[in-house]
Amino acid sequence: MNNLSPKVQNQLSMLQQIQQQLQTILSQKAQYEMAVREAKRAQEEISDAAEDAVMYMSVGTVMMQKKKDVINSKLAEKIETLELRIKSLEKQEKMMQGKFEQLQAQIKAALEGKVTPTAA
Amino acid sequence: MNNLSPKVQNQLSMLQQIQQQLQTILSQKAQYEMAVREAKRAQEEISDAAEDAVMYMSVGTVMMQKKKDVINSKLAEKIETLELRIKSLEKQEKMMQGKFEQLQAQIKAALEGKVTPTAA
Amino acid sequence: MNNLSPKVQNQLSMLQQIQQQLQTILSQKAQYEMAVREAKRAQEEISDAAEDAVMYMSVGTVMMQKKKDVINSKLAEKIETLELRIKSLEKQEKMMQGKFEQLQAQIKAALEGKVTPTAA
Amino acid sequence: MNNLSPKVQNQLSMLQQIQQQLQTILSQKAQYEMAVREAKRAQEEISDAAEDAVMYMSVGTVMMQKKKDVINSKLAEKIETLELRIKSLEKQEKMMQGKFEQLQAQIKAALEGKVTPTAA
């Protein structure tokens, strides 16, 4: 490490930061995707129930009794919100991925450039 | 790092990728296994209850009142699905493990091959 | 690694430890912040409900039926506690961040000091 | 890395494995400790409730209505089981920690032994 130029060292630490940010984005996206799948499964499950079936919906640690159609529209709203967030994360992911590849290419070029004069 | 051949550098980054994929598979498997254990514990718990006991089953954030036998068959179905997924993950795990060991052997061979001429 | 002085090696491992502690603090903070958001969403959700609406509040695996105003004050209490913990974590975070930057500067200085005589 | 002896390389990879196992143990312990805290909070919460208060207990995705004293004894049982598991994990943790320190000392000794002849 200590024979790398300060510039390359800096690029390497930026690369690591981008990698961590990408991981954060991907794990967030995975969580939202799971929440969407759960909400859709809940919608399916509800669709079989009678209009007056006893149901609760939880927000954090609180469960409230609600009517089937209220729960249904709340689930639809939730899915919509989550899908918007997923799209926004996918944009960020692509941007980060682009930055990552660019930086990686710069570091590769710098390292190869450095190796050549030493070998000569 | 910069005195490693591009081929070995490439193999090392593939090794790292496989390791990450293996970790993803293992953590997914652990989650499914926990869900199976939970579903089996729920089945046991239910088996003691009266046929008309008040029970709810949750799907995501929604809880619906259901009869004992309905919950029982839903749990059985869930366990079956999860066990199929676990088996599929175990196949992937073995395949990845095989790739990992193969790549590791190739890298070792390449590094040892590289050291010898320099020492000569 | 083995051409680094024992002092710098020690500083590097301290740096890594601080980084891990920072990550622990940040992930804890993120969890508390999510719990605050959830509790606030639950408060909003409750505010629309009738005084005699059927509600439950969960503590771990136990759900207890409670009146709206009881749940409301419990949520307010919870938010207050969590916000105090978040503030305390933010203090720790700043302190750790300070230590991290100080150590990073020391390592950089040591590494640069080491490179110069070799080049001379 | 490639100038380290195969023995030291092997010890380093063992060190990494132990570190990962330690992390697994610690995160498992943290989960059990959190479950104990939750169960104790649920006990406290229950102690204020009337004998005939409506309560549910969840096992995985199933919630069953149970009487206060039944939930109380189930919680006590759960706490006992978890505390035994925590003790067992603490034993494993100490053993691993011992192995870790031993291996670390061996690697240090090997690296210092290697550096000296080169410097001579």
Q: Phi first, then psi: what are they for A58, rounded to 5°?
A: -105, 140
**B58: closest chain A residue by CA:** A42
Distance CA A30, CA A34 (A): 6
ipTM value: 0.71
D54 with C65: Cβ contact below 8 A = yes
> To 5 degrees, how large is the angle CA C71–CA C73–CA C75?
70
D64 with B54: Cβ contact below 8 A = yes
Residue C6 in tokens:
């024992």
A42 with B63: Cβ contact below 8 A = no
Q: How far is CA A52 from CA A69, C77, C78, D39, D54, in A?
A: 10, 34, 33, 34, 21
**B57: closest chain A residue by CA:** A55
Distance CA B55, CA D63 (A): 6
CB A63 within 8 A of CB A57: yes
Residue A17 in tokens:
């930061």
> To 5 degrees, how large is the angle CA D48–CA D52–CA D57?
75
Residue D66 in tokens:
């149970």
Instruction: Indicate the residue type of C112.
Output: E
Per-residue model confidence as pLDDT tens digits over B15-53: 999 999 999 999 999 999 999 999 999 999 999 888 889
Considering only CB atoms, D38 lies closest to which of C56, C60, C64, namely C60
Distance CA A89, CA A82 (A): 10
State the pTM of this model: 0.74
Distance CA A106, CA B29 (A): 38
Q: Is the pLDDT of residue A25 over 80?
A: yes
Q: Which has the closest alpha carbon to A18: A112, A95, A107, A108?
A: A95
Q: Is C60 left (phi over 0), alpha (psi -120 to 50) or beta?
A: left
C63 with A63: Cβ contact below 8 A = yes
- Per residue of chain D (120 residues), give pLDDT as tens: 457 888 888 899 999 999 999 999 999 999 999 999 999 999 999 998 888 899 999 999 999 999 999 999 999 999 999 999 999 999 999 999 999 999 999 999 988 876 544 443
Considering only CB atoms, C63 lies closest to which of D35, D58, D111, namely D58
Q: Which has the closest alpha carbon to D14: D79, D93, D109, D106?
A: D106
Residue A99 in tokens:
């930055």
A64 with C41: Cβ contact below 8 A = no
Chain A residues near residue C30 by CB distance under 8 angstroms: none
Distance CA B54, CA B39 (A): 18
Per-residue model confidence as pLDDT tens digits over C68-105: 999 999 999 999 999 999 999 999 999 999 999 999 99
Looking at residue B115, what is its pLDDT?
Answer: 56
Mutate to test the interface with B, among A3, A4, A63 (most CBs of B within 10 A): A63
DSSP, collapsed to helix, strand or coil, labels residue C64 as strand
Distance CA A27, CA A85 (A): 13
CB B25 within 8 A of CB B92: yes
Report yes or no: D12 at the C interface, CB cutoff 8 Å.
Answer: no
D60 with B42: Cβ contact below 8 A = yes
Per-residue model confidence as pLDDT tens digits over D2-18: 578 888 888 999 999 99
